[in-house]
Each structure stands twice: as structure tokens, then as C-alpha cells.
Amino acid sequence: MVRWIDETIHDGWGLRLRADRVLYEQQTEHQHLIIFENEAFGRVLVLDDAIQLTTADEFIYHEMLSHVPLFALDEPRNVLIIGGGDGGVMREVLKHQGVEKVTLCEIDRAVIDTALQHFPEISAGAFDDPRADVVIADGTKFVAETSQRFDAILVDSTDPIGPSTVLFAKEFYGRCKTCLKPGGVLVTQNGVPFVQGDELSASANFFRQLAFNDVSAYLATTPTYSGGPLAYGWAARDTGLRTTSLKMLQSRFNAAHMTTKYYSPEVHVASFALPPYVAQLLDA
């Protein structure tokens, strides 16, 4: 009998992938986790009925969440990732040779262990890098208690369902701001604005209430995340980071000697060109 996996996070809108072969399924301490193979998208990870990644298109999300903020910064040294237990964002961050330390704070150890077993190519050895520091903890508590200060905080969260709900709260964003260095930037996964506009609007409002000097978003299209391009929330004290010139981005990218499949300096600049319906959500 054919099994279909339904993503049901949107009201009146869904996505269905055929599970050609289920590799793993477990109710962890925090969430329901399933991994399966699909002919079109490869190996797929789903948490609480929300598709998290596929081996076919994961590079888009991971590259854009990582490289847009890091290439906007001048010599980022210390980076915090909240969530991201699959290791894909950490893999991309560690491509920046000037980064001295990456702290990955993941609430669910089972996500890391399962990803290492079934998706080793996603982290590609990142967990073994001496610059990587893995902390198993609630991200909200970590940013409230740590004395570390970060050049960039990357919130690689699921949608605001279950344990990730607190990662979309004003209190959490405020604690992140406290943990940022003066020139730092906070980037968040903010859903598909065509069908999740309230999510982006709420985060942008919280960023403004917390007196971030520059509040915006940028976009990238990942086929798995249906309904249009995905939005990445942007909050920074330095108003110049978002408008880093193409010439500067190209210089930094060339010096990094890294290979990417989606990110480029040109895509970086273009990703901040928002359609009016998205720009309006930022001001709602």
C-alpha cells in the first residue's frame, strides 16, 4: 500500500509527498520525526507534519540563511545557530575561514543523531570541526543565560508549532539582541509570506519594538517550501549591512574560495528586492 506524507501546517493549503520507503519514524521527547525517500526530492525529513529538508534542495535554504548575513558582515568571528540540528547551516557557516567558533544550540538531540545517521551529507563533517560547539538546550534559555556575544545569530527553526513556538516571541528576539555584538545581525526563518504573512509581520513588529535600527527581510525560493518564496527575517543595529555593495560582496566571496549552488553576490543583492505584497507585510 502506498503511503503519502501530508504537510498540514497551513489552513486550506497542503503538500503531499509519496513515501517510497520509510527509513525512520519516532515520537521523540519533543516532536514526531519521520524520514523517508521520495523519487523527486530524495531523502526527506519531516517534524510534526512539517517538511524540514530534502536532499534535493536543502542547499538553497542552508546557503541563504548562512551566507547572506555572513558576507554582509566584515570578518564575522563568532556565530550562533539556534536549531539546525541537521547541521546544514553549520556546514555553510564553517566555509567562512575567518569564523573562529560556531555554537549550535539544538533542543532535541534525537534530531542531530538521526540526521547524522540518515543525512550525513547534510552536515558533511561539520560536527567534527574543532570550531563547532554543540549545545543541547532550549534556545530561549541559552540566549538568556549565555555571556557570549555573537556577530550573527541564525534562527534555523521549524514553523511556530510545538517547541519552536517560543522562537517567534518578542522575549526571545530581545534576548538575541542582547547577545549580539554592536554590529551584529539576527536572521530568522519566517515562513512563506504568501500563505504565512502574519508570521513575517509579527516578527518585523517585534524587531521594531526592540529598537533594531534596520528591519527587513529577504527571499529565496526552495521548491519543497510550497506557496512561493521563503522569507528570512532581518534585524540589525547597523543600517549599512543590508546595503553592502555588490562590489564588496564579490570581493568577499572571491576571497572565501567557496563553492555554492544557489548563493552568489548577485543573488544576495537581488534577494532584498521585495515584491510589494511582502514589503507591505513588513509594515503591517
- Sign, CA dihedral 256-259-263-265, equals positive
From the candidates 156, 159, 198, 283, which is the catalytic residue? 156
156 annotated active-site: yes
Q: Are 73 and 57 in contact (CB under 8 A)?
A: no
**pLDDT value at residue 29:** 80
Cell of 35: 524520514
Both 18 and 65 in a single domain? no
What's 44's domain CATH number? 2.30.140.10
| DSSP symbol at 164 | G
Q: How confident is the model at residue 161 (pLDDT cuts 50, 70, 90)?
A: low
Higher pLDDT, residue 197 or 160: 197
Of 54, 71, 95, the last residue of a domain is 54
Average pLDDT of every residue of the chain: 93
Q: Is the predicted pLDDT of residue 91 greater than 70, yes or no?
A: yes
Domain span at residue 111 reads: 58-282
Residue with cell 526527506: 44
What's 203's domain CATH number? 3.40.50.150
Distance CA 153, CA 151 (A): 7
Both 217 and 109 in a single domain? yes
Q: What percent of the chain is modeled with pLDDT above 70?
A: 98
Both 10 and 122 in a single domain? no
Distance CA 271, CA 230 (A): 11
Counts of helices then strands in the chain (DSSP H, E): 10, 13
Both 75 and 156 in a single domain? yes
Both 168 and 260 in a single domain? yes
Q: Mind listing the pLDDT tens digit for each residue in 240-281? A: 999 999 999 999 999 999 999 999 999 999 999 999 999 999
Distance CA 153, CA 150 (A): 7
Both 62 and 48 in a single domain? no
Both 30 and 66 in a single domain? no
Q: Is the predicted pLDDT of residue 203 greater than 80, yes or no?
A: yes
Q: Mind listing the pLDDT tens digit for each residue in 238-250? A: 999 999 999 999 9
Both 33 and 63 in a single domain? no
User: How many folded domains does the chain comprise?
Assistant: 2
Both 10 and 62 in a single domain? no
Both 159 and 21 in a single domain? no
Both 142 and 244 in a single domain? yes
Both 29 and 97 in a single domain? no
Q: How confident is the model at residue 164 (pLDDT cuts 50, 70, 90)?
A: low
